[in-house]
């Protein structure tokens, strides 16, 4: 479990929902640093969500597992629609925030520790670019097979990613070349999150194109049924269990 000092993500969420100045600093291992303000993202009502997020809610069915739930906006919406939802995150303060906001079931569980002990799910949510939590090609395939062990036969995985190839920025293209030279996927990031004096450990995060996502899914027992596009490089895949 993350220590309080390591829980940068949890602290920025906790401040954001209280209307305090909050920002996320993403530091990559190649030296690139990006900063974004996050308050509006975590507190936005359904009417203000991106259109592809709104459309994605239609595909949720039955019992829902929300992986990387953050402040719990997707969990809360689906809970209000009558779904039994379990919100999970690696951040203790994010889960505390989910509970404060009214999410009935929320647990601190890393993606690699999800198992049948939590029960069986009909829908797995990985929105907010959370397909990235798979981390790498190999780990993604291992986890996808593992997901079959605690999902129903007609389960859906609703996952968002960003196509890393839709850029002309030199720093991102240089990162992709470096990844290829190291035998990694082009959009595989090694990063950590900073907020005020808090800082997470380094972790892998994976951005993929639609073709790369299909390649990852092949042979895992999952397939893409539909894509929900955004105006930019991000997209949501509605993925169904095979067999």
DSSP sequence for 49-109: S-HHHHHHGGG--SSEEEET-TT-HHHHHHHHTT--EEEEES-HHHHHHHHHHT-SSEEE-
Structural domains of the chain sorted by starting position, each given as residue range(s) with its CATH number in brackets:
8-241 (3.40.50.150)
Q: Give per-residue pLDDT as tens, 66-119.
A: 999 999 999 999 999 999 999 999 999 999 999 999 999 999 999 999 999 999
Strand ranges (E), the chain: 23-28, 33-37, 64-67, 85-89, 106-108, 121-126, 151-162, 188-195, 198-199, 203-206, 222-229, 234-241
pTM confidence score = 0.96
- How far apart CA 29 and CA 174 sit, in angstroms, is 12
Q: Do 194 and 25 form a contact (C-beta atoms < 8 A)? A: yes
Residues 6 or more apart whose Cβ sits within 8 Å of residue 128? 41, 68, 70, 160
Banded pLDDT at 37 (limits 50, 70, 90):
confident
Task: Give the mean model confidence (pLDDT) for residues 181-204.
Answer: 97
Backbone angles phi, psi at 36, to 5 degrees: -140, 145
Share of the chain above pLDDT 90, in %: 92
pLDDT of 39 reads 61
**∠172-175-180 over CA atoms, to 5°?**
130
């Amino acid at each position: 479990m993350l220590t309080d000092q390591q829980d940068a993500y949890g602290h920025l969420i906790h401040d954001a929902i209280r209307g305090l100045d909050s920002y996320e600093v993403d530091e990559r291992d190649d030296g690139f640093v990006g900063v974004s303000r996050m308050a509006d993202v975590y507190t936005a009502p359904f009417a203000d969500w991106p259109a592809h997020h709104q459309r994605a809610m239609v595909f949720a069915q039955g019992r829902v597992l929300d992986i990387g739930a953050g402040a719990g906006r997707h969990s809360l919406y689906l809970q209000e629609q009558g779904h039994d939802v379990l919100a999970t995150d690696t951040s203790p303060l994010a889960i505390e925030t989910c509970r404060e906001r009214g999410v009935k079931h929320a647990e601190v569980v890393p993606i690699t520790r999800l198992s049948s002990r939590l029960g069986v799910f009909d829908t797995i949510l990985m929105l907010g670019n959370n397909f990235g939590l798979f981390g790498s090609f190999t780990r993604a395939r291992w986890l996808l097979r593992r997901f079959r062990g605690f999902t129903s036969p007609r389960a859906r995985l609703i996952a968002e990613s960003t196509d890393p190839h839709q850029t002309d920025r030199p720093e991102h293209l240089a990162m992709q070349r470096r990844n290829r030279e190291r035998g990694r996927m082009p959009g595989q990031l090694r990063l950590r999150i900073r907020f005020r004096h808090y800082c997470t450990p380094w972790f892998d995060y994976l951005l993929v194109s639609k073709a790369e996502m299909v390649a990852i899914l092949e042979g895992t027992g999952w397939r893409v049924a539909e894509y929900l596009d955004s105006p930019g490089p991000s997209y949501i895949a509605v993925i169904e269990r095979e067999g």
